Amino acid sequence: MTIVKLQPHLARANETLSLHPLLQGMPDTEALVEALLRDAFQQRAAHGEFLFREGDRASHYLLVESGCVEVMRYGADGEERVFHQFMPGQLVAEVATFMTHGRYPMNARAVGDTRVIRVSCAALRRACERHPGLAMRLLENISMRLYRNINEIEWLTASTAAQRLAAYLLRLRERQANEDNCEVIRLPISQRQLASQLGVRAETVSRLFSEWLERGYVCGGRGVWRLCDLHYLRALASEAERAF
């Protein structure tokens, strides 16, 4: 893992952070971003390296510059569950700034060669105290995450394994839609990790892919799938969707 002084990369980090929805359009954005990045530094990590671990002191949050950062936990059975993947331009663990225990609640790991900016949590707290508008945006952001988590819990208890898998594939298609062929998706995690994320057994995910492959709903394999019947997958996923 390599740590680099931020100064040569300040312009790029400044621009990326200025365009983030959390700060975009804020009064005196330039001065606010400069204050946030004052003690920041760049960190490079190879595939599989940890950027922080669950229980570590939450001194910094991350701005992803390139590559991908996934947040995950190990279960009591030793299996790992990937909760989310963060792409360039996104912030990772900024809400850890306000946790009373002051520790990271999950592990953060690089997916592929990854470059992040480590931004001081203390600087973010000071900025919120001086700029109530920023604090309100953070509160809105945290509230929406909580709402999505509540919906996810309800979804996991009310939906079938097939519905969960269909919804996951469609969301993945939306995230990867900037690629040349938007019907082809690449699973960013293993099928075992995907099963854990969906709350089902790995054998169930494997069986569903086999059935859908046989019926022509999807084609491909080895982590690369073409969604051949979007109408079927959308109808399946929408059965348990909420209106908002």
Tens digit of pLDDT for each residue in 203-228? 999 999 999 999 999 999 989 999 99
How far apart CA 3 and CA 41 sit, in angstroms, is: 7
The answer to whether residues 112 and 70 touch, using CB atoms and an 8 Å cutoff, is no
pLDDT of residue 95: 93
The sign of the CA dihedral 11, 19, 173, 183 is negative
Top CATH class, 160-238:
mainly alpha
Q: Of 94, 7, 18, which Cα lies nearest the Cα of 59?
A: 94
For domain 2-155, give the CATH superfamily. Answer: Jelly Rolls (2.60.120.10)
Question: pTM value?
Answer: 0.80
From the CB of residue 111, how many other CB atoms can be counted at a distance below 10 Å?
Answer: 18
Q: Domains of the chain: which residue ranges?
A: 2-155, 160-238
Q: How confident is the model at residue 50 (pLDDT cuts 50, 70, 90)?
A: very high
143 versus 3: the higher-pLDDT residue is 143
Q: Which residue has the tokens 């690089």?
A: 110
The whole-number average pLDDT for the span 122-138 is 94
Cβ atoms < 10 Å from Cβ of 117: 26
CB 81 within 8 A of CB 73: yes
Whether 44 shows a pLDDT value over 90: the answer reads yes
Q: For residue 6, what pLDDT is reported?
A: 47
**3-state DSSP call for residue 233?**
helix
Say how far apart CA 4 and CA 92 lie, in whole Å.
19
Tokens standing for 155? 């979804």
What does the block give as tokens for 21? 């929805």
Place of tokens 């400069």: 34
CA distances to 37, 56, 101, 108 from 71, rounded to whole Å, are 23, 14, 19, 4
